[in-house]
Amino acid sequence: MVGGRKTSFPIGACSPMPLSTSSVESLPAEEASTAQRRRLPGWTSWALSAVATLIWLVAVIATDLQSRVFEHWESAVTMLFGSFLAGSSPEGGGAVAFPVFTKGLHVPAPVARTFGLSIQAVGMTMAVLSILAFRRAYHARAAVLGSIAAVAGFLLSVALFGHRDLAFWPSTIPAPWVKATFSIVLATTSLLMVRHLRHTDSDHHTLEWGRRLDVGLVLMAFAGGVLSSLTGTGANILVFLFLVVLADVGPRVALPTAIMIMTSVSLVGFGLFGIFDGQFAVEVIGDRVVSVGGLAVDLAASQADLLGLWMAAVPVVVWGAPLGSLVASRVPERYLVRFVALLAGTEVLTTFVLVPELRTEPSLILYLAVGLVVVPGGFLLARQRRQQLFA
């Protein structure tokens, strides 16, 4: 419902149009039939999950990785929840992998980032195929522009802040500051989703998608790409907030759009870090990682065996992400919004408990406190003035 009236758009259309919260069922008959012909049969995503699982099994046996896969069972358990989120919420699997790995399993932030991007490259791709197969509505124009901007932000951030001469291409930004930034973003998500659920603006107006919204989306997706280069996720979160809070797109349409954008970033990150930089070329002797991409290291295998962590999680995410996407398309919108808010709030609380620097570094404490006020407040102020900004 936008501006007191319901609007709709053809799925996949890219021309300027009113924003929509509609699903396939609300499309005109001729448009629905066209969209249906363009979409895959509903069973396709499950068939692809089965094929992916078979390929994984063959790869594990052929490379004799069985022991390393079983040693990293924590990764599979983590992504049991993370993969479901990849398809059902704007946070994505990285929103579970990054905090659990860095705070609970003490995995270095660069390893957690690459793991998040690489596992999302699998899980979110499966979720996108599920979106297409089950004919879920999405905003095609936002998906295309957002993907381009997010990838650009990701690559620029890696070029500016990355230490390519070190194993796992770490960032020059200290890990506690990255964790605090991630918590600010998720806290903003939680607060804005609760507000979205409880409040209906009296000045609610229809916004036609035009150049101003294009610019706003590009800037937000670009910032999300920068965040994704540090944490393995973020473009989906910021784009989701922009679409729902500022552009009046319904969560049921904004969610698959955000997933598509993060999928693009994840695939680029997987190729850049995992393949081009050789971070999957991990040599393990005993319980130690002795080389990564040809660079000599001495790290605990439980924390730095990226290939083992990734392979342990793959069979989980190829099923969990499509399942999450299907569930998100069926549950009432208010439950979806509550789910997003609860997850974001939980991550923020664990940051306060499990990041000791937040109790010892005044500058970090001040940064977090200011961010928790300025970022949500900025979104709310922009929403109040969205007519002047975007109409």
pLDDT one-digit tens code per residue, 203-224: 444 567 888 999 999 999 999 9
Q: Which residues of 119-143 are buried (b: 16+ CB within 10 A; e: fewer)?
A: bbbbbbbbbbbbbbbbbbbbbbbbb
pLDDT of res. 209: 81
Both tokens assigned to 325: 């996407």
Q: What is the CA radius of gyration of the chain?
A: 21
Q: Are 82 and 317 in contact (CB under 8 A)?
A: yes
Q: Are 204 and 5 in contact (CB under 8 A)?
A: no
In angstroms, how far is CA 23 from the centroid of its own chain?
Answer: 22
Q: Which residues, including other chains, have CB under 8 Å from residue 205's CB and lie 6 or more apart? A: 3, 387, 391
pLDDT of res. 91: 66
Q: Are 314 and 122 in contact (CB under 8 A)?
A: yes
**pLDDT grade for 3, boundaries at 50, 70 and 90:** very low
Both tokens assigned to 191: 């607060």
* First-to-last C-alpha distance (Å) of the chain: 17
Q: What is the mean pLDDT of the chain?
A: 80
Classify residue 24 by its DSSP letter. G
Q: Is residue 50 part of a domain?
A: yes
Q: Are 247 and 390 in contact (CB under 8 A)?
A: yes
SS3 for 254?
Answer: helix
SS3 for 281?
Answer: coil
Q: Is residue 16 part of a domain?
A: no
SS3 for 68?
Answer: helix
Q: Is residue 4 part of a domain?
A: no
SS3 for 368?
Answer: helix
Which residues are registered as beta bridge partners of 300? 288
Name the more confident of 186 and 243.
Answer: 243
208 phi and psi, to 5 degrees? Answer: -80, 135
**pLDDT grade for 54, boundaries at 50, 70 and 90:** very high
Q: Is residue 216 part of a domain?
A: yes
pLDDT of res. 228: 94
Rounded to 5°, the CA angle 40-46-50 comes to: 130
Number of domains into which the chain is organized: 1
Q: What is the mean pLDDT of residues 328-347?
A: 71
pLDDT of res. 224: 95
The letter for the amino acid at 244 is V
pLDDT of res. 168: 93
pLDDT tens-place string over residues 135-192? 788 899 999 999 999 999 999 999 999 988 899 999 999 888 988 898 888 888 878 8
pLDDT of res. 4: 40
Q: Is residue 359 part of a domain?
A: yes
Q: Is residue 9 part of a domain?
A: no
pLDDT tens-place string over residues 32-42? 333 344 555 55
Q: Is residue 32 part of a domain?
A: yes
SS3 for 2?
Answer: strand
SS3 for 390?
Answer: helix
Residue 133's domain comprises 24-390
Q: Is residue 11 part of a domain?
A: no
Nearest to 227 by CA among 174, 152, 154, 313: 154
Q: What is the mean pLDDT of residues 101-120?
A: 88
**pLDDT grade for 316, boundaries at 50, 70 and 90:** confident
Distance CA 282, CA 269 (A): 17
Q: Are 215 and 145 in contact (CB under 8 A)?
A: no
Which residues are registered as beta bridge partners of 289? 284, 299
Classify residue 305 by its DSSP letter. -
Nearest to 183 by CA among 102, 80, 243, 81: 102
Walk across the sheet containing 288-292 and list its strands.
Answer: 282-285, 288-292, 295-300
pLDDT of res. 352: 74
Taking CA atoms, 72 is separated from 64, 81, 259, 308, 377, in Å, by 15, 16, 27, 7, 41
